[in-house]
Structure 1
Amino acid sequence: MSILFLVIIGIAAGFLATRLMGVEADLPTTIAIGVLGALVGGLLLRGVAALFGMASGFVGAVLGALAVLWIYKTYLKK
């Protein structure tokens, strides 16, 4: 899975993750969280994506974005 694909998916994943976690963040923060989450989740689930297709890459991106949002909400946003 290419890095560009992870960035594009990350934008959508960041939007979805902020809505799922109830975080009100501005657009650049949402995109940054989504892209970082997509990179983390996408790289961790690279093997699963090879087995089950691109759908698992999106799931990994959303899970990664949720993890990054949890860290952001817990430790960075006061």
Structure 2
Amino acid sequence: MGLLWLIILGAAAGFFATRVMQVRTGVLQTVLIGMGGAFIGGLVLRGLIAVTGALAGLVGAVLGAILLIWIFQKFGPR
């Protein structure tokens, strides 16, 4: 169940992040961006917030995915 939840959360976070950053990606890339963002955001939020929940996890995942997109746009292939 944990892997399924990670994929669902990653898909949602990736969707929101790609819309905020106005990036066009496929479904797999969107899910991977969201999962990477969930990992980054989860690490950051666990350090900053003592109480975590589904909403905090989603916010962290979206912020992490936005950061990941920004890094890729800044330093990725042109």
**TM tier relative to shorter chain:** 0.7 to 0.9
Q: Structure 1 residue 74 and structure 2 residue 74: aligned?
A: yes
CA distance in 2, matches of 1:39, 1:11: 13
Counterpart of 2:34 in structure 1: which amino acid?
Answer: G
CA distance in 1, matches of 2:9, 2:57: 9
Matches within 5 A, 1:38-49: 38-46=38-46, 48=49
Quote how far apart the aligned CAs of 1:36 are: 0.5
Give CA deviations for 1:25-72 in whole Å, capped at 9, x if unaligned.
Answer: 222221111110111111321352x51522111100100000001111
Moved over 6 A (4+): none
**TM-score (norm. length: structure 2):** 0.79
Counterpart of 1:53 in structure 2: which amino acid?
Answer: G
**TM-score (norm. length: structure 1):** 0.79
- Map of 2:18 onto structure 1: 18
- How much identity, in percent, do the aligned residues show? 47
Alpha-carbon RMSD across the aligned residues, in angstroms, is: 2.1
CA distance in 2, matches of 1:76, 1:23: 14
| Structure 2: 5+ residue stretches without partners | none
Q: How many residues align?
A: 76
| Structure 1: 5+ residue stretches without partners | none
In terms of fraction of residues, the more helix-rich structure is: 1
Moved more, 60-69 or 3-12: 3-12
Judge conservation of contact 1:7–1:38 (CA < 8 Å) in 2. Answer: no
